[in-house]
A and B are shown apart, each in its own frame.
Chain A
């Protein structure tokens, strides 16, 4: 049943919440300052509830089913995380209170800064950025300022692999630098000879996602980072795929100078339908002064001191990238997750995530093309939605048909370097049964593609709505109600 717009449910005179009477003498409000009308929905609380509950029922979510979205790490979101974030001492805390009255919150943030630094092999961490892309912009601005401070303002280029997520070149451009694309080689690694050809004194750095969006660990990682450093550049790590090596390797040990972590991917905070997330940024010691601030610092060794933790602006900070301190409600959730897992648990995450992905790759190879199936994948792999028996069937059709089998499709058409890409990331929180069901569904769909392709091309059949007319949406641009 389609759900009407809340504006269509509105009836003049209805009201939801009641407010207390005014307990102070009223001060006249000049009428010329006041608006004449405000056209918001007028509904009862029951209307609110039914509307939003019914809308929620139109959604697929991690709590409903499997979400094998490559590079999104749709793992289970522990409810303990949410319980902690809801504690009134956190949820009702104003960010501008004197630090002596928010030591508990500062302690959580400081501890999280330290734990992420330890996990990533970094010297210092800022928790201010709101999302991965926000962290990327932060990192590129750090590179830029670092070089500028050394008189190297000619370093205006950032090298970006062709498999990179669109946020990488977009963040580079936002920071005022030029993105230069470096191709991948036949094994899915960065093409070393192209890298060398482009490394000169115009390069500020390299943006590297490792494992990359093909799900492959950069086989020449140490040489790549060494080459960039030898040319006077720095290496930025995009941590979107960090779930593959969590606890198994530390980017900071292997030549990464600055990296963002997606707390809403690797660290289990819920995705919210598109945020909020958090994009913590870790740096090596040489870059610590450039972090956005303020960060939390220990100012007193005495644990009983009401001012043990305080805000501190790094000495050469690129500045603030957000108001207040960061998405604290998300930070608490990541903190809980890390504390519940401990070092062994964190390692088990990567171990099982990589195992699950290799298992799926083994089951699907031979039915679907897997361009780099000869290599061990990490936490994800890229198959192609191309079937010899059904040349008219595309990745899109296979994806839409998966919906009829009760699964959310994998990432489609990304990375751009693989035609008809299906990027599959199971995560560690899925059971063998789920993996087998998913593999079974894909094998069944491959059979259907040959025997009865229309059923794929007309899919999905069982979802609340079917394929949408995106051309109409773009041409008419109806983006507000009424």
Chain B
């Protein structure tokens, strides 16, 4: 089935109107030798068969209430209220196009305007865009924005090792053609003081994460201090933030951040094996003309009705072409809508409560794991993730945790941080139960000899 409504009779009618005998004739410009290839693909299946096949494949994946998981590392298993999916699966939102004709797209445009407003308030910044692809590309776009603010005259970018390893990799991919020095993340021992020391007049930006990849929460005074030093060099401070944590913690906008980027998946979006996610991107008004991504703005129509429209399009690719601030076109609009519905459904108190529950659950786990011999929890204030040094390689522990105990263990930090070999990043969210935590602790004790 191809979802094609026209019949042979319809087609005959159309062919006659066009003046050709067959549809094959319409492809006469395709080089003869390459026309109508045979595609080596399986024959069509009915909807029932395909869904049955996919249902079976989906069951090969371990997840669900029977399989407690302590994986975080940039993607988080939060509770998604039923109202969220109910709203974003409405086909008026899901099957609408980008709102280039604002008169018939006020639903999308107003929802985006509201999303922008919520992200601005959450991050403590003045302005937010309508989304980037994910936390990693949002971070890369923040770096590019800082380079543009410096008129491409500064060639140095400082990244903290506390920034998600995949985000740092994407920054390097995106900037590989720009002749830059990207440095500062050689070791987790390079803290805010050292980053401040490394910052100079050739530095376009310093990028840190809050809470960082290892779960650690910086002291507001320290982050503000770093901001001052970064600004004194004429550079921008980019803070990659966890949006659920921002329901509780001091927002980066209050500590001198120039750009706040990050992953919005935790705001109502399913884990979905890594995507589609949501790159949020908030910044100071001064830099709006160097910003990237769509921005919805308020105006009126010819009858004076308040309405919304994409604005400042002269930054964007369809007008500015090679001089655009970014090439981004299709972004993550439906995921942004999802975040907005989630934030609205929870409200400020609900979001704070989610964050507090994450804190309490993770701290309970940390205190119990910390008292197990062979395991040591790394020191420092953390939000809902923390690193724990294990008595055996993490891969061995995780294999045993899963095979024997049916638990998905934490992230193997040794893959990204040589100084953290045999350390695991454990995460709790508000859906993690005490019973699951106690089960994990017992299992970890058993895994001491994995």
Contacts and interface: CB of A to CB of B under 8 A. Distances in A.
A–B in direct contact per CB < 8 Å: yes
Interface string A335-376: 110111111111111011011101101110000000000011
Given A27-B364, A103-B60, A348-B2, A465 B324 contact: no
A298 interface: no
Given A15-B350, A42-B348, A270 B94 contact: yes
B169 interface: yes
Contacts of A274: 97-99, 108, 112, 130, 294, 330-331, 333-334
B319 interface: yes
A124 B335 CA distance: 29
Contact of B97 (A5, A67, A118, A325): A67
A481 B117 contact: yes
Interface string A36-50: 011111110100110
B434 interface: yes
Contact of A469 (B73, B276, B301, B319): B301
Contact of B26 (A345, A354, A467): A354
A40 B121 contact: yes
Contact of A342 (B44, B99, B166): B44
A385 B30 CA distance: 29
A176 B178 contact: yes
A38 to B, nearest CB: 4
B272 A329 contact: yes
A391 interface: no
A387 interface: no
A39 B121 contact: yes
Interface stretch (A94-102, A191-199, A444-452): A94-102
B271 A101 contact: no
Nearest to A416: B321
Contact of A431 (B5, B299, B348, B434): B5
A365 to B, nearest CB: 10
Interface in A37-68: 37-43, 45, 48-49, 51-53, 55-64, 67
Given A48-B87, A61-B93, 5 more contacts: A17-B345, A85-B272, A325-B275, A355-B14, A473-B298
Nearest to B108: A273
Interface in B59-85: 59-64, 69, 71, 73-75, 77, 79, 81, 83
Interface string A455-482: 0001010011111111011101111111
Interface stretch (B35-43, B153-161, B187-195, B199-207): B35-43
B230 interface: no
B177 interface: yes
Nearest to A34: B248
Given A38-B122, A38-B351, A323-B277, A101 B133 contact: no
Contacts of A76: 3
B306 A2 contact: yes
A324 B107 CA distance: 31
Contacts of B334: 270, 272-276
A57 B251 CA distance: 35
Nearest to A318: B173
A99 B224 CA distance: 41
Given A49-B87, A276-B332, A467-B302, A403 B270 contact: no
Nearest to A23: B434
- Most B-side CB within 10 Å, residue of A37, A174, A323, A482: A323
B196 interface: no
Interface residues of B, number: 205
Given A15-B349, A97-B62, A324 B274 contact: yes
A230 interface: no
A227 interface: no
Contacts of A130: 133-134, 137, 275-276, 330, 332
B351 to A, nearest CB: 7
B23 A90 contact: no
Given A272-B94, A363-B17, A250 B30 contact: no
A420 interface: no
A351 B280 CA distance: 40
Interface string B207-219: 0000000000101
Contacts of A94: 63, 69, 71, 75, 77, 271, 273, 408
Interface stretch (B352-360, B370-378, B442-450): B352-360
A414 to B, nearest CB: 7
Given A27-B364, A63-B92, A403-B101, A328 B177 contact: no
Contacts, number: 694
Interface in A104-145: 104-105, 107-108, 115, 118-119, 121, 130-134, 136-137, 141, 144-145
A345 B394 CA distance: 48
B331 A275 contact: yes
B420 interface: no
A89 B58 CA distance: 4
A29 interface: yes
Interface residues of A, number: 205
Nearest to A358: B18
Given A271-B95, A468-B301, A101 B62 contact: yes
A25 interface: yes
A162 B68 CA distance: 55
A37 B381 CA distance: 21
B172 interface: yes
B418 interface: no
B170 A174 contact: no
A481 B31 contact: no
A178 B177 CA distance: 11
B92 A64 contact: yes
A303 to B, nearest CB: 11
Nearest to B297: A473
A105 B62 CA distance: 10
14 contacts: A41-B344, A49-B83, A60-B105, A88-B63, A92-B64, A115-B41, A130-B276, A133-B327, A170-B327, A339-B45, A352-B23, A358-B20, A466-B303, A479-B297
A169 B321 CA distance: 6
Contacts of A84: 50-51, 54
A324 B319 contact: no
A131 B331 contact: yes
A247 B135 CA distance: 36
A318 B170 CA distance: 10
A403 B411 CA distance: 52
B133 A40 contact: no
A131 B83 contact: no
Nearest to B403: A100
Interface string B276-289: 11000000000010
A330 B269 CA distance: 13
B30 A217 contact: yes
B181 interface: no
A319 B329 contact: no
A398 to B, nearest CB: 13
B121 to A, nearest CB: 5
Contacts of A464: 103-104, 106
Contacts of B21: none
A40 B122 CA distance: 8
Contacts of B302: 458, 466-469
B37 A170 contact: no
Contacts of A24: 360-361, 364, 434, 437
B183 interface: no
B379 interface: no
A174 B39 CA distance: 35
A16 B3 contact: no
Contacts of B112: 273-274
